[in-house]
Amino acid sequence: MTTLYSFGIGIGTKNSNGQWLEVFYPSPILRPSQDLSSIITSEFGDNNEDIEPTKAQLDALESALAATGYDDFAELIRSLKTTNHNVVAVVLLQDSAPTSVPQAYLKLHLLSHRLVKPHHTNISGIFGVLKNIAWTNIGPIDLNELPERLLAARKTGDVIQVDCVDKFPKMVDYIVPSGIRIADTSRVRLGAYVGEGTTVMHEGFINFNAGTEGPNMIEGRVSAGVFCGAGSDIGGGASIMGTLSGGGKEIISLGKKCLLGANAGVGISLGNDCVIEAGLYITSGTVVTLLDDQKVATGTCKAKALSGQSNLLFRRNSINGAVQCLTNKTAIELNDELHSSN
């Protein structure tokens, strides 16, 4: 029997040429049970493909779901049957790279719904699949059609506000995960994994296929591909080098209870309980002086040799400017009240 990797059914937007711009999936499913997979594939087949279901297919799917106890899912199908907008179902037999806009949006929804963590679903080539879109107060608009739409709105006394031009929308227009705070919602993209108890302040940023285990304080930048362990604090103006910001294919992660001081940065992975002092940027090629417990220099190495190790404190010598590394004896603690999910 076939067991699917993922399934999503939702409502999307097309341009005037019938090309998909985006899709909203209210309840994406990761690895549905064998029974549910059988119901889905009996109506839509078992290939990686996008289907624009007919009313008859939706009727049959709703009946099959209701008859087997999937009442919530059946209610979703019943709701989608009442819309005049574009409905699409995506069946993914395996975790392959997305080849269409509906498939790409399903993968991004899986991440932001916390169904998969960054790097645990294949989104290879997603930039080439997604279209650059004008995200406006009346919804997404194809860039080629924007001038005409702007003029048409003005002629009726209306104004279209263009919030941004991007391939990725902001996450909260699609999903608001439980127990989080985001001061400026435009700074968290769809496809971000934002763990319970995470606070993203006004200048904080979380890219797609990146995120936080939660709870975390994010006042700096969590670049694409980066994942931060529970209790880690990214200070104001701090930056973590990701796969799209000079890190190449190197996957950067922070362990639990790490601290990046204000305006600091890191281009290597950190284990648990690590600190980088304010204003210090550590790249893989940074030459680091190693200090023992008596703070005596014992040698030097490039920072990449320390990647992934725990209980490290990186600082800059205020006299000679040398970057030093010693054992971190002070673990950070986040404010429990500030990061409560209530």
Q: Is the model's pLDDT at 1 over the cut of 70?
A: no
pLDDT of residue 67: 94
Q: Do 275 and 301 form a contact (C-beta atoms < 8 A)?
A: no
Least confident of 151-160, 243-252, 253-262: 243-252
Q: Is the model's pLDDT at 195 over the cut of 60?
A: yes
pLDDT of residue 84: 86
pTM: 0.92
Among 162, 163, 206, which Cα is nearest to 181's?
Answer: 206
Q: Is the model's pLDDT at 338 over the cut of 80?
A: no
pLDDT of residue 328: 77
Instruction: Tell me if the bond preceding 140 is cis, omega within 30° of 0.
Output: no
pLDDT of residue 225: 92
* Confidence tier at 228 by pLDDT (50, 70, 90): very high
| Rounded Cα–Cα distance for residues 43 and 239 (Å) | 47
Q: Is the model's pLDDT at 90 over the cut of 80?
A: yes
Mean pLDDT value of segment 99-128: 97
Residues linked to residue 30 through DSSP beta bridges, in sequence order: 6
Is there a common fold for 6-131 and 171-327? no
Own/partner pairs, 176-180, CB within 8 angstroms, 24+ separation: 177/112, 177/113, 177/114, 178/341, 179/214, 179/341, 179/342, 180/214, 180/341
* Confidence tier at 336 by pLDDT (50, 70, 90): low
* Confidence tier at 335 by pLDDT (50, 70, 90): very low
| Rounded Cα–Cα distance for residues 34 and 25 (Å) | 21
Question: Cβ of 109: how many Cβ atoms within 10 Å?
Answer: 26
Half-sphere exposure for 329 (CA within 13 Å, toward CB): 5
Q: State the catalytic residue, choosing from 62, 145, 219, 333.
A: 219
Q: Is the model's pLDDT at 183 over the cut of 50?
A: yes
Domain boundaries, the chain: 6-131, 134-166, 171-327
Which overall architecture, per CATH, does domain 134-166 show?
2-Layer Sandwich (3.30)
Catalytic annotation present for 145: no
**CATH code of domain 6-131:** 3.30.70.2010
The tokens of 36 are what? 């549910």
pLDDT of residue 294: 87
Q: Is the model's pLDDT at 98 over the cut of 90?
A: yes
Identify the residue with better confidence: 39 or 340.
Answer: 39
Choices 3.30.70.20, 2.160.10.10, 3.40.50.410, 3.20.140.10: CATH for 171-327: 2.160.10.10
**pLDDT tens-place string over residues 253-292:** 999 999 999 999 999 999 999 999 999 999 999 999 999 8
**pLDDT tens-place string over residues 23-72:** 999 999 999 999 999 999 999 988 888 999 999 999 999 999 999 999 99
Mean pLDDT value of segment 219-242: 96
